[in-house]
Structure 1
Amino acid sequence: MRTIVITGGTDGMGAALARHFLTTGDRVVVIGRSRAKFDGLLSALGDPSAADRAEFVAADLSLLADSRGVVAHLSARHEQIDALVLAASFIRSRRHATVEGHEASWALFFLSKYILVTGLAEQLRAAGRPVVVNTSVPGARADAIDFDDPELTQGFTFGKSNAQQRRANELLGILATRENPDLSYVTWGPARLVRSGLAGDVGAGMKFAAAILAPLLGQQPADAVRPLIDLIDDPAPGRAAYRGPKPVPLVESPRDEQDVIRLADLARADESGT
């Protein structure tokens, strides 16, 4: 029986993946903020055996303490993790500082992922064919990260924030696969809009677009994640990037090695509070 860990597994695409893998007989650990949504997901399945294979871990992954707590919990309970799906999302169009003092989007969309990927490396290494699926749309510019001000204390825009999170997660793949050559690390984004609720603190324009365009043009979460299921079921070692089922080129730069070191240094400093 495989162990599948899914952050953001109570809504949208994360919930669709949780439902699928519980239906196919896997053990599924859902990381999220709402126990009620998790219980509703299990109830809707109508399969008593699913509850025996499902686990919920409550966490706000914009808080580094919660992310570290998830790593400690999973490390104590699971010797092996076959798949780690990083799908937690909360979109912010404005800069917001957490109670820990970090910019919330940087903390949720990169720092938490760094903590989980590096902190669970031993459990992933124990799996025969481990895979990390990072739902961070690939293709950001190689120079997207402001290494002098990664939390964008000056000049924050949604576009800058989004681009540097995406680039950071691609660089995280270099670090992760270097440490574990058997690991499949996939950055992935849906091919088109998905009909799921827009969780976040966004402006009227983005809310309007989500409310109008997603129902008209979007695909159901269960349809959107079908390519992800294939990538989890048949992982290939190394890094890859996809939009929907279509592979896309990895963004590469002569500065990649230097940037990976700088990024890891930043992440470790944030973890230690220095």
Structure 2
Amino acid sequence: MTNSDTRFSGKTVLITGGTSGMGFSTARRFLDEGARVVITGRDRGRLDEAVEDLDGGDRVLAVRGDSADPNDLDTLMARIQETYGRLDVVFANAGVSSFQPIGDVTEAEFDRVDGINFKGVYFTVQKALPLLVDGGAIIVNASWTLHRGLSGSTLYAATKAAVHGLTRALAAELGPRRIRVNSVSPGYIATAMFHDAVSVEDHEGIVANVSAGRFGTSEDVSGAVAFLASDEASYVNGQDLIIDGGLVSSIAA
């Protein structure tokens, strides 16, 4: 049986968007299991707070930057190379929500959301590959909206479909290096981003559609990411793991 305290001992994990929510929870999970963790975020103050809360000492590196900016990504990879010299796991997590009818989507909003949710993921992976060891793992944060239509989510859902398409293609392309590439598709996860996008008045109606009868937690997602990054998932590749309490596949009683 694997000792979960040391499952990732000696390994280096990059988590984009690691200052809160699913990214922060995943950073804590990997630290608890022995990894060195690199987190990114656009706000220096929030990064500093996250580092303090994680309390990982020299096993935590925080790099300020925008995942939608390839120059910032170049700086990030240079810092990782200088500090740790390699990557074993990449969790391309940074993303934003955007929900409105298609007629209300402006070109500026399209560029903003696509820049972070798709372009940012694409170039995070591209620029991380020279540092990622053969036999490493990449996990991309997608969305349950890959699998079930949601009114008002055309822009958001399209970017998340794009990153899962990227996941499948990368799994094929990186096969010769034994790098596994998978995505996770969270359902309604109780993060700050979720609460910003969904009013309290809508909570009861949303939960009524979830067979598990509750919102998910960031820990629900971080556990799945850790599994996909681990040797236990050595034959899982090019897949999307839905973490939604049954929202997509079941009808709540």
TM range (shorter): 0.7 to 0.9
CA contact 1:68–1:115 (8 Å) conserved in 2: no
Superimposed CA distance per residue, residues 97-121 of structure 1 (whole angstroms, 9 cap, x where no aligned partner): 38xxx80111101111111111221
- Amino acid of the structure 1 residue aligned with 2:24: A
CA contact 1:170–1:187 (8 Å) conserved in 2: yes
Aligned partner of residue 122 in structure 1, secondary structure: coil
- Amino acid of the structure 2 residue aligned with 1:21: F
- CA gap of 1:6–1:62, structure 2 versus 1, over 3 A, is same
- CA gap of 1:168–1:224, structure 2 versus 1, over 3 A, is closer
Superimposed CA distance per residue, residues 157-181 of structure 1 (whole angstroms, 9 cap, x where no aligned partner): 9533223212221232244233321
CA RMSD of aligned residues (A): 3.2
Paired residues, number? 219
- CA gap of 1:44–1:78, structure 2 versus 1, over 3 A, is closer
Question: Is 1:26 the counterpart of 2:58 in the alignment?
Answer: no
Aligned match for 1:197, one of 192, 211, 216: 192
CA contact 2:16–2:93 (8 Å) conserved in 1: yes
CA contact 1:75–1:120 (8 Å) conserved in 2: no
Structure 2 stretches of 5 or more lacking a match? 1-9, 100-104, 208-212, 246-253
CA contact 1:19–1:41 (8 Å) conserved in 2: no
Alignment of 1:1-274 (within 5 A): 1-45=10-54, 47=55, 50-93=56-99, 94-95=105-106, 97=108, 103-124=111-132, 126-127=133-134, 129-137=135-143, 140=146, 159-181=153-175, 182-190=178-186, 192-198=187-193, 206-208=197-199, 212=203, 217-234=214-231, 235-236=233-234, 238-244=237-243
Aligned partner of residue 103 in structure 1, secondary structure: helix
Aligned partners of 2:58, 2:240: CA distance in 1, in Å?
Answer: 34
Aligned partners of 2:120, 2:141: CA distance in 1, in Å?
Answer: 13
Aligned partners of 1:78, 1:175: CA distance in 2, in Å?
Answer: 28
- CA gap of 1:211–1:11, structure 2 versus 1, over 3 A, is farther
Shift of 1:197: 0.2
Aligned partner of residue 89 in structure 1, secondary structure: coil
Corresponding residue number in structure 2 for 1:264: none
Corresponding residue number in structure 2 for 1:258: none
Aligned partners of 2:107, 2:20: CA distance in 1, in Å?
Answer: 22
- TM-score, with structure 2 as normaliser: 0.73
Aligned partners of 2:82, 2:122: CA distance in 1, in Å?
Answer: 19
- CA gap of 1:223–1:108, structure 2 versus 1, over 3 A, is same
Corresponding residue number in structure 2 for 1:146: none
- TM-score, with structure 1 as normaliser: 0.68
- CA gap of 1:183–1:245, structure 2 versus 1, over 3 A, is farther
Percent of matched pairs sharing the same residue: 20
CA contact 1:85–1:133 (8 Å) conserved in 2: yes
- CA gap of 1:138–1:68, structure 2 versus 1, over 3 A, is farther
Corresponding residue number in structure 2 for 1:255: none
CA contact 1:3–1:27 (8 Å) conserved in 2: yes
Aligned partners of 2:144, 2:198: CA distance in 1, in Å?
Answer: 23
Superimposed CA distance per residue, residues 77-105 of structure 1 (whole angstroms, 9 cap, x where no aligned partner): 4432111001112223344638xxx8011
CA contact 2:18–2:27 (8 Å) conserved in 1: yes
Shift of 1:51: 1.5
Aligned partner of residue 241 in structure 2, secondary structure: strand
Structure 1 stretches of 5 or more lacking a match? 142-156, 247-274
